[in-house]
Amino acid sequence: MSGVTEPRKWNVLLTGGAGYVGSALVPKLLGAGHGVTVLDLYLYGEDVLAPVAGHPRLTEIKGDLRDPETVARALTGCDAVIHLACISNDPSFELDPELGKSINFDAFRPLVRAARDAGAKRFIYASSSSVYGLKDEPDITEDMALKPLTDYSKYKAMCEEVLEEERAPGFVTLTLRPATVCGYAPRQRLDVIVNILTNHAVNNGRIKVFGGEQLRPNIHIDDMTDLYVECLETADETIDGKIYNAGYENRSVMDIARSVRGVVGDGVALDVEPTDDNRSYHISSDKIRRELGFTPKRTVEDAVKGLVDAFRTGRLPDPMNGVRYYNIRTMQACDLS
């Protein structure tokens, strides 16, 4: 990436480090020489970080980011924050909107302030490309008005504003708006588009597509996690106060389904059903390429191949029924309040 400075070693507080993205990011941060403190409720399993547990530069704190004392403890010795923790899709947010708001929005400003007051120099926030809502323009760029369609997306957008309000000299803030992430990670999500289709192709032998012309923006989990690491290495002045879309391929659902079938095998049946829901989402990731030199390297097909390998080697047991692969099922099963 451009604007990359002399590699600096950070002590990073990673909220949500035991989630889908976090479970792939923690080993990369450690591998890059950073210290990592994970603050997470471990809703998706206590063993998610088992491969790196006990690493001398890793601290794991099981706790709630809504609790100020826990946050203060987690921030001790940290000089950067990457904030991933949240109720991270529409259905699990809708399940208990008050709970969702308390985690995704109400706790956000206190977390940012606590980080700044504790001396953190950098705060990287995982927003979402869903903040744009539906748009007809061919290129959805960062300067366009946000018209979030759901509460999950609305609060994602509102946190961006809070972060800008709390930005201060010496406290560098950066917002990323990721596309939908795909591919294998130690804590697997099977409720996001590429992963859903791959699961059904491998384990059911058929994929069902509703409509199919709708566009979806995608980014491979290894590109997404590379980006977080690279953002730590980028100069303050390059990223301070910035907002970037982060996606690779905008592809139609049908196109993704065909790619999945292409990787899994022609024996996979592809059923197409009509739908009234023709919502299309797509983003432009030109700005992040232009300004940070970030170009994703992995395709949707790469993500599918990684998942197929994980299924076939038994790393994702009970993929249809396992509660932890599905955020909504986990939230239904846990009694978080």
Ligand X SMILES: NC(=O)c1ccc[n+]([C@@H]2O[C@H](COP(=O)([O-])OP(=O)(O)OC[C@H]3O[C@@H](n4cnc5c(N)ncnc54)[C@H](O)[C@@H]3O)[C@@H](O)[C@H]2O)c1
Provide, rounded to whole angstroms, the least separation between the CB of residue 266 and ligand X. Answer: 28
Segment contacting ligand X by CB under 6 A, of 133-141, 176-184, 236-244, 300-308: 176-184
Distance in angstroms (rounded) separating the CA atoms of residues 56 and 70: 21
Identify which of residues 1 and 159 has a Cβ nearer to ligand X in the complex.
159
| Three-state SS letters, 142-204 | CCCCCCCCCHHHHHHHHHHHHHHHHCECCEEEEEEEECEEECCCCCCCCCCHHHHHHHHHHHH
In 3D space, the residue among 75, 72, 38, 32 whose CA is nearest the CA of residue 54 turns out to be: 38
> Considering just the CA atoms, what is the radius of gyration of the chain in Å?
19
Does 180 participate in binding ligand X (rule CB under 6 A)?
A: yes
Does 243 participate in binding ligand X (rule CB under 6 A)?
A: no
For the question of residue 152 being annotated catalytic, the response is yes
Segment contacting ligand X by CB under 6 A, of 12-20, 166-174, 205-213, 305-313: 12-20
Catalytic residue among 42, 44, 152, 248: 152
Provide, rounded to whole angstroms, the least separation between the CB of residue 21 and ligand X. Answer: 4
Instruction: Give the type of residue at 161.
Output: E
Phi, psi of 317 (to 5 degrees): -65, 150
Q: Given candidates 1, 14, 18, 115, which one binds ligand X under the rule CB under 6 A? A: 18
Distance in angstroms (rounded) separating the CA atoms of residues 227 and 220: 11
Q: Given candidates 35, 100, 133, 178, which one binds ligand X under the rule CB under 6 A? A: 178
Identify which of residues 104 and 234 has a Cβ nearer to ligand X in the complex.
104
Q: Given candidates 66, 135, 289, 305, which one binds ligand X under the rule CB under 6 A? A: 66
Does 142 participate in binding ligand X (rule CB under 6 A)?
A: no
Provide, rounded to whole angstroms, the least separation between the CB of residue 51 and ligand X. Answer: 16
Identify which of residues 8 and 332 has a Cβ nearer to ligand X in the complex.
332
Exposure string over 121-144, b if 16+ CB within 10 A, otherwise e: bbbbbbbbbbbbbebeeeebebee
Q: Given candidates 85, 209, 253, 303, which one binds ligand X under the rule CB under 6 A? A: 85
Phi-psi region of 160 (alpha: psi -120 to 50; beta: other; left: phi over 0): alpha
Q: Given candidates 128, 195, 238, 250, which one binds ligand X under the rule CB under 6 A? A: 128
Distance in angstroms (rounded) separating the CA atoms of residues 251 and 218: 8
CA 232 to chain centre: 16
Query: Which residues contact ligand X (rule: CB under 6 A)?
Result: 16, 18-22, 39-44, 64-66, 84-86, 88, 103, 126, 128, 178, 180-181, 189, 192, 327
- Active-site residues, by number, are 152
